[in-house]
Structure 1
Amino acid sequence: MKTILISGAGIAGPTLAFWLRAAGFGPTLIERAPRIRTSGYVIDFWGLGYDIAERMGLIEEINRVGYRVKETRIVDDAGRRRAGFGTRVFTELTGGRYVTLPRGELSRLLFEKIRGSVECLFGNEIAGLREEADGVWARLRHGGERRFDLVIGADGLHSAVRQLAFGPSAQFEKHLGYVVAAFEADAYRPRDDDVYLIYGQPGRMIGRFTLHDDRTLFLFVFLASDVAPPVTLAEQKALLRKIYADARWEAPQILAALERTDTIYLDRVSQIRMSGWTRGRVALIGDAAFCVSLLAGQGSALAMISAYVLAGELAAADGRYEEAFGRYETSLRDYMDAKQRAAENFAGAFAPKTRTGLFIRNQVVRAFAIPGLAKLAIGREIADRLELPRYRWLAGQ
Structure 2
Amino acid sequence: MKKTILISGAGIAGPTLAYWLEAGGFEPTLIEKAPSLRSGGYVIDFWGLGYDIAERMDLLAAVDRAGYRVKELRIVGDGGQRIAGFGTSVFQELTGGRYVTIARSALSRLLFEKAKGSSEVIFGTEIKGLHQDEGGVDVQLSDGTERRFDLVIGADGLHSGVRRLVFGPQERFEKQLGYVVAAFEAAAYRPRNEDVYLLYSQPGRMLGRVSLRDDRTLFLFVFACDPQSLPETREAQKAFVRRRYADANWECAAILRELDRTDDLYFDRVSQIRMPQWSQGRVALIGDAAFCASLLAGQGSALAMISAYVLAGELAKAGGQYQAAFSAWEAKLRGFVQGKQEAAVRFAGAFAPRTRWGLAFRNLVVNALAIPGLSRWSIGRDITDKISLPDYSWRR
TM over 0.5: yes
Specify the alignment match of 1:340 in structure 2.
341
Superposition deviation, residue 227 in structure 1: 4.0
Amino acid at match of 1:81: R
Residue identity opposite 2:237 in structure 1: Q
Deviations 1:275-316 (A, max 9, x none): 100000000000000000000110000000000000000000
Kindly indicate whether the alpha-carbon contact (under 8 Å) linking 1:208 and 1:219 is maintained by their aligned counterparts in 2: yes
Report the equivalent of 1:286.
Answer: 287
Equivalent residue, structure 2, for 1:127:
128
The answer on 1:199 being equivalent to 2:205 is: no
1:323-338 residue pairs with structure 2 within 5 A? 323-338=324-339
Provide the C-alpha distance between the structure 1 equivalents of 2:306 and 2:227, rounded to a whole number of angstroms. 32
Deviation of the 1:11 alpha carbon:
0.1
Question: C-alpha separation between the residues in 2 aligned to 1:353 and 1:264?
Answer: 25
The residue that corresponds to 1:392 in the other structure is 393
Aligned to 2:113: 112
Structure-1 separation of matches of 2:79 and 2:183: 22
Asked if the contact 2:84–2:364 (Cα under 8 Å) also holds between the matched residues in 1, the reply is yes
Following superposition, the deviation at residue 230 of structure 1 comes to 2.1
- Cα drift, residue 236 of structure 1: 1.2
- Shift of residue 358 of structure 1? 0.5
Q: Is the 8 A contact 2:19 2:118 kept in 1?
A: no
Q: What are the residue-to-residue correspondences of 1:83-162 with 2, within 5 Å?
A: 83-162=84-163
Map 1:1-397 → 2, pairs under 5 A: 1-395=2-396
Give per-residue Cα distances to partners, 1:72-111, cap 9 Å, x unaligned. Answer: 0000000000000001111111111100000000000000
Segments of 4+ moved more than 6 angstroms: none
CA–CA distance in structure 1, aligned partners of residues 227 and 293 of structure 2 = 19
Q: Name the SS of the counterpart of 2:349 in structure 1.
A: helix
**d(CA) in 2 for partners of 1:226, 1:101:** 28
Q: Which runs of 5+ in 1 are unaligned?
A: none
Deviations 1:136-187 (A, max 9, x none): 0111010321100000000000000001010010100000000001000000
Opposite residue 28 of structure 2, the aligned amino acid is: P
Structure 2 Cα separation of the partners of residues 330 and 358 of structure 1: 39
Q: Is the 8 A contact 1:229 1:266 kept in 2?
A: no
Instruction: Give 2:356's aligned amino acid.
Output: R
Instruction: Name the aligned partner's letter for residue 383 of structure 1.
Output: T
Structure 2: which 5+ runs fail to align? none
- What is the TM-score when the length of structure 1 is the normalising length? 0.98
Tell me if structure 1 keeps the 8 A contact 2:71–2:87: yes
Superposition TM-score, scaled by structure 2 size = 0.99
Q: Deviations 1:25-78 (Å, cap 9, x if unpaired)?
A: 000001010001112100000010000000001000000010111110000000
- Aligned CA RMSD, in angstroms, stands at 0.8
Aligned residues with identical type, % of pairs: 67
How far residue 375 of structure 1 moved from its aligned partner, in angstroms, is 2.2
Q: Distance in 1 between the 2:282 and 2:331 partners? A: 17
Secondary structure at 1:115's aligned position in 2?
helix
Q: Secondary structure at the match of 1:96?
A: coil
**Aligned letter for 1:341?**
E
Q: Which amino acid aligns with 1:363?
A: L
Measured in 1, the distance between the counterparts of 2:204 and 2:29 equals: 43
CA distance in 2, matches of 1:350, 1:19: 35
In structure 1, C-alpha distance between the alignment counterparts of 2:149 and 2:232, rounded to whole Å? 33
What whole-Å deviation, never above 9, does each CA across 1:193-239 have from its counterpart, x for those lacking one? 11000000110010000001100000000111244332221111111
Determine the C-alpha separation between the residues in 1 that align with 2:73 and 2:95. 18
Q: Contact (CA 8 Å) 2:199, 2:207: kept in 1 or not?
A: yes
Moved more, 94-103 or 224-233: 224-233
SS at match of 1:4: strand
Between 27-36 and 226-235, the greater mean CA deviation after superposition: 226-235
Residue 211 of structure 2 contacts residue 218 of structure 2 at CA under 8 Å; is this kept in 1?
yes
The amino acid of 2:345's aligned partner reads E
- SS of the equivalent of 1:77 reads coil
Cα shift at 1:382: 1.5
- The whole-number CA distance in structure 2 between the counterparts of 1:328 and 1:229 is 35
Counterpart-to-counterpart distance in 2, 1:225 and 1:52 = 37
In structure 2, C-alpha distance between the alignment counterparts of 1:128 and 1:92, rounded to whole Å: 48
Q: What SS does the aligned partner of 2:138 have?
A: strand
